[in-house]
Amino acid sequence: MANLKELRNRISSVSSTQKITKAMQMVAASKLRRAQENVETARPYSDKLGDILNNLSASFSGQDNAPELLAGNGNDKSHLLIVATSERGLCGGFNTSIVKLVKEHISQLKGEGKEVKLIVIGKKGKELLQRDFGQEIIDIYDFSEVKDLGFIEAEKVAENILSLFEEGKFDICSLYFAKFESVLSQVPICQKLIPFDIESEVEEEKEKDIENICYEYEPDEEDILKELLPKNLSVQILRALLENVASEFGARLTAMDNATRNASDMIDDLTITYNRSRQASITSELIEIISGAEAL
């Protein structure tokens, strides 16, 4: 049986770990609320932009003169994957599940003989992807210094993607992040950025509302679309970043809750062992004394 002093040390170390996880859980809970608010406030803009885009792009579908950002450049040889992850760890399976999805897609694309390039946002994604795909990573963004992720950061990423696209460095671009569904569930998803993915379901619903509206455009549709598409890219990235932040805190909240609970289970177990071994040593001491007295 373990020595009493050792047990006492274990108990105190587990309870200080529990204090840390408990604190992290509470911090995550309050930050999660803020992050959720940010997601909500960003939603109207991206929804409206999506509506306008769907409207416009419907008139371009099937035409040859559609902008490349909307319809793609006709090739699908080279894929750019943008992987959004967190800057900090201790958030359960959050980063690994995103990276797992990315790795699956990479091996699938490579199997088809496509060229793969990666842009990683966040330190954790870099750590997880660098070993296997260090060659493919063309850019890494580290926003650990940024307190509140906002439009400026999203714009930075979007500008980079646009200039790479114009240089013809890739044909198809998709974005990987974890969609925040609830505190308990964050789903890693892949969203196509270039060519623009028209949401067919949403479109059908909206079409009913605006069926009879015949818009006038100024400047013409093509020019508007040319301005709108790069903006849409920034907004989609912003949405992904904000969703990701909310998901990260959600995941951390759950992970830390589990950790706190595990720690208290562990403390209970250790306390029982500690009490038993203390009792055992007392009993054996008593037996020694009694048998010593009997011997006399």
Partner 1 sequence: MSSKLNFDFVSPMSSIFSGEVDGVLIPAKEGDAEILPQHAPFMTALRVGIVEIRLTDSENLKFLIDGGFADIALDQVTLLAERSFDLVESSKEDFDKIINDVTKDIEESEDGEEKEDLLIKKEILEANYS
Which residues does the annotation mark as catalytic?
91
Q: Does 154 bind partner 1 (CB under 8 A)?
A: yes
Residue 65 DSSP code: T
Q: How far is CA 138 from CA 83, 133, 172, 206, 258, in A?
A: 12, 10, 15, 39, 37
Tokens of 24: 């992290």
Tokens of 192: 């196509």
Q: Does 230 bind partner 1 (CB under 8 A)?
A: no
CA distance 22 to 188: 26
Q: Quick one: 49 or 190, whose CB is closer to partner 1? A: 49
Q: Which of 20, 73, 138, 150 binds partner 1 (CB under 8 A)?
A: 150
Q: Quick one: 68 or 221, whose CB is closer to partner 1? A: 221
Q: Which of 167, 214, 291, 296 binds partner 1 (CB under 8 A)?
A: 214
Q: Is 173 exposed, middle or buried (0-12, 13-18, 19+ CB in 10 A)?
A: buried
Q: Quick one: 87 or 153, whose CB is closer to partner 1? A: 153
Q: Does 219 bind partner 1 (CB under 8 A)?
A: yes
Q: Quick one: 8 or 48, whose CB is closer to partner 1? A: 48
**How many chain residues bind partner 1 (CB under 8 A)?**
32
CA distance 228 to 177: 23
The whole-angstrom distance between residue 243's C-alpha and the CA centroid of its chain comes to 7
Q: Does 52 bind partner 1 (CB under 8 A)?
A: yes
CA distance 248 to 229: 28
Q: Does 218 bind partner 1 (CB under 8 A)?
A: yes
Residue 145 DSSP code: T
Q: Does 205 bind partner 1 (CB under 8 A)?
A: no
CA distance 219 to 146: 37
Write the interaction track for partner 1 spanning residues 22-51; mark x where CB under 8 A is met and - where it is not: ----------------x--xx-xxx-xx-x
Tokens of 210: 């605006």
**Footprint (CB under 8 A) of partner 1, residues 235-294:** 235, 238
Q: Does 72 bind partner 1 (CB under 8 A)?
A: no
Where along the sequence are the contacts to partner 1 (CB under 8 A)?
Answer: 38, 41-42, 44-46, 48-49, 51-52, 55-56, 150-151, 154-155, 210, 213-219, 223-224, 227-228, 231, 234-235, 238
